[in-house]
Amino acid sequence: MKDKIDLNKFKKSKTHLLILKFFHENQQSVDTPRGVATWTGIDIKEVRKALDELARCKVLIAIEVPSTTGYSYTHDAGLIKKVAALLKKSKI
Amino acid sequence: MQKEYQKEIFKKLTENPSLQSERQTFEKLFGKTVWNIIPSEKCDLKIKDLSECEHVLKQKAGKPPCIGDLKNAVSSARKTKSPKIVQCQKGLWAIVIPLVQGDTFYGYILICHIKKKPEQETAFVLQSFALAILREVQKELELSKLYESIRPRAIALSTVHTVHRLISSTLDIDELLPRVARLSLQVMRAQRASIYLLDEKKENLIQKAAIDTRTEKPLKLSKMRIGKGVEGKVAKDGNAVLTNKFLSVPLVHEEIIGVITVADKIENKPFTSLDKEILSTLAEQAVIAIHNAKLYEEQEKVTIGSIKSLAALLDTKSPYTYTHSQAFVRIVLAIAQELHMNDEDLRALHHAALLPDAGKISVPEEILGKPSKLTTEEYRLIKEHPLKGAQILKHIDVLKPTIPIILHHHERFDGKGYPGGLKADQIPLGSRIMAVADAFEAMIYKRPYRKAMSFQSAVNEIKKYSGTQFDPEIVNAFLKLVDSGKIKDILKQESESER
């Protein structure tokens, strides 16, 4: 059985919301923390932490290699809907 | 398209704060006025364009008297491209400022209700301000259009770059192919992805990796003949196949080496020709990584083959002296994996474990096989073998990383070993691992000069010397493998292969 994922904990974090917005708008994207920091304009340290948290919540998929980690968007349609609702509500 | 662009410019011009501030400055000099910014398509001035004018609002029926004069002024301003001043109501004046650049007429600004007749120079100054603002708006719009068109391309390029980094970071083909499948799935937003490679005879496609996000069960890997099925046809003809639900592209490195297939896009969206282009780019990157991994695999086979040949040669002289059992190599690698050793170090350790005692070639055979206690001089010669082994192997470039491991595999954790008398962490990790596996192997196998010890007694001996002869961390990893049954499995495999 799948765990229920609560995205509401991210509703007050601009960093998490901007990252979610980036992946929601660019669903084919696979990017490194540095890349995501460039597209969102957020400091890379904050981005790394937020990416890790979003990957743990399964909203993002992480592919780890020795030199970096590539992040991409979930395939779960239910989760994608939840993200869309969160972004709409947050008006980011 | 041009009309849309002009419309967009006009909208931005209307909202532009500089124009608002120009109006405020003007009203400081001339009192409250009515401003209308009217796009080019409305060059035939309409009553509703003057809805801000109180005189027009008061007029209950018919056309306001000013409309005719204003229409003429608009038409003249457009023709001459210069501002026109005209009386709109009794004692009130209006300026028509045409917004013209070259032959493009964007519209005009109509300023009414001016209580004092303005000078023509004032109208020209207003026009030049308005045109400067128009240019600023155009630049802003161009920049935003450029950003909108470049950003998705830059993001796509960044994805291509990231995918390249992720797939070129491994030379292990068993790790690479599932990763390529996973990335294909992610980038294509598909629910299923498979990688097929041609077999050596180039008759069949062998499915090497398959992922389906709709199931957690591992998928059964299949095989198909060239020319049969969609993938078989792609592999035969080299042409991609694109349908709404399915996309298959060939993996080409000088010739076709396999096929990548993705299927069932999420949310039932169809695959597009852009998807085909993207998957083909990914396939090009994957092919290079697969080629490199295969080359590496071949090089590794040659290296291991050469070491084994050398070992076999030495073994014909005196079995068990220079080489160890397959079980020894497997135990060494199992401990290293238990300790999460990285791939590069693991490879060096594997090579070292295949031929750790080549240096014994320099020790006379009667000393190596002597059943009684060695003399001091004989022991000195024995102790030299790691150094001699390192000297033999140092000429083979690919084996250089193994030299420290071979040189120090007879060191003891407490510093009482040889040849360097190194202690604890001073001893290379690989050497500390080999020391445990070497001692264990020596105890459990029968030798011409002594009996074999039982499995449990040998394990107890390893435990007993943890912290003195052996590194406790390595002993713990070894004991975990003992508890999990892994060591017994390795020994079982060894005895089965000897049968």
- Tens place of pLDDT per residue across chain B (499 aa): 467 777 788 888 888 899 889 889 888 888 888 888 888 665 567 767 776 777 776 766 666 777 778 888 888 888 899 999 998 877 889 999 999 888 888 888 989 889 888 999 999 999 999 999 999 998 998 998 898 889 988 999 999 999 999 999 888 899 999 999 999 999 999 999 999 999 988 899 999 999 999 888 877 888 899 999 899 999 999 999 999 999 999 999 889 999 999 999 998 899 999 899 999 999 999 999 999 999 998 888 888 888 888 777 777 766 666 667 788 889 999 999 999 998 889 989 998 888 777 777 777 777 777 777 778 888 788 788 888 888 887 888 888 888 899 889 889 999 998 888 899 999 999 999 999 998 998 888 876 666 788 899 999 999 999 999 999 999 999 999 999 999 998 888 877 766 5
State the sign of the Cα–Cα–Cα–Cα dihedral A24, A29, A31, A35: negative
Closest alpha carbon to B352 in B413, B418, B396, B384: B396
Residue B38 has, within 13 A of its CA and on its CB side, a CA count of 26
Q: Which amino acid makes up residue B463? A: K
The values of phi and psi at residue B451, to 5°, are -85, 160
Closest alpha carbon to B354 in B319, B310, B391, B291: B310
CB atoms within 10 A of CB B2: 7
Closest alpha carbon to A20 in A87, A88, A90, A91: A87
- Sorted by sequence, the CB contacts under 8 Å of residue B54 that are 6+ apart come out as none
Q: Are B23 and B35 in contact (CB under 8 A)?
A: yes
Helix (H) or strand (E) holding B241: strand B241-242
> Tokens 């102790």 correspond to what residue?
B383
**Looking at residue A1, what is its pLDDT?**
45
Q: Which amino acid makes up residue A31? A: D
B interface test, pick of A3, A21, A29, A76 with most B CB neighbours within 10 Å:
A29
- Integer Cα distance of B374 and B261 in angstroms: 66
- Integer Cα distance of A32 and A12 in angstroms: 24
Instruction: Tell me which residues of chain A have a pLDDT lower than 50.
Output: 1
In angstroms, the separation between the Cα of residue B228 and the nearest Cα of chain A is 31
CB atoms within 10 A of CB B358: 23
Closest by Cβ to B163, choosing from A30, A39, A75: A30
Q: Which amino acid makes up residue B334? A: A
In angstroms, the separation between the Cα of residue B4 and the nearest Cα of chain A is 25
> Tokens 């030049």 correspond to what residue?
B128
- Integer Cα distance of B442 and B108 in angstroms: 99
Query: What is the rounded average pLDDT for all residues in chain A?
Result: 91
Helices (H), B118-168: 120-167
In angstroms, the separation between the Cα of residue B412 and the nearest Cα of chain A is 32
What ranges make up the beta strands (E) of B164-215? 190-198, 204-212
A interface test, pick of B160, B165, B166 with most A CB neighbours within 10 Å:
B166
- Sorted by sequence, the CB contacts under 8 Å of residue B37 that are 6+ apart come out as B10, B13, B14, B19, B107, B108, B109, B110
**Looking at residue B388, what is its pLDDT?**
83
- Integer Cα distance of B420 and B414 in angstroms: 12
Q: What is the pLDDT of residues B286-337, one digit of tens each?
A: 999 999 999 998 888 888 888 888 777 777 766 666 667 788 889 999 999 9
Closest alpha carbon to B424 in B433, B416, B415, B437: B415
DSSP string, B379-413: HHHHHTHHHHHHHHHTTSGGGGGGHHHHHTTT--T
- Integer Cα distance of B494 and B374 in angstroms: 31
* Rg from Cα positions in chain A: 12
Upstream peptide bond of B419 is cis (omega within 30 degrees of 0)? yes
**Looking at residue B377, what is its pLDDT?**
82
β-partners of residue A61 are A72
Q: What is the pLDDT of residues B244-270, one digit of tens each?
A: 999 999 999 889 999 999 999 998 899
The reply to whether B165 touches chain A by the CB within 8 Å rule is yes
The reply to whether B131 touches chain A by the CB within 8 Å rule is no
- Integer Cα distance of B310 and A71 in angstroms: 46
Closest alpha carbon to B404 in B424, B380, B381, B429: B429
In chain A, how long is the greatest CA-to-CA distance? Answer: 38
Name the residue in chain B with its Cα closest to that of A1: B216
The reply to whether A35 touches chain B by the CB within 8 Å rule is yes
**Taking the complete model, does pTM exceed 0.90, yes or no?**
no
Dihedral angle, C-alpha B21, B22, B24, B25, nearest 10 °: 120
In angstroms, the separation between the Cα of residue B163 and the nearest Cα of chain A is 7
Phi-psi region of B340 (alpha: psi -120 to 50; beta: other; left: phi over 0): left
**Looking at residue A14, what is its pLDDT?**
94
The reply to whether B168 touches chain A by the CB within 8 Å rule is no
Helix (H) or strand (E) holding A77: helix A77-90
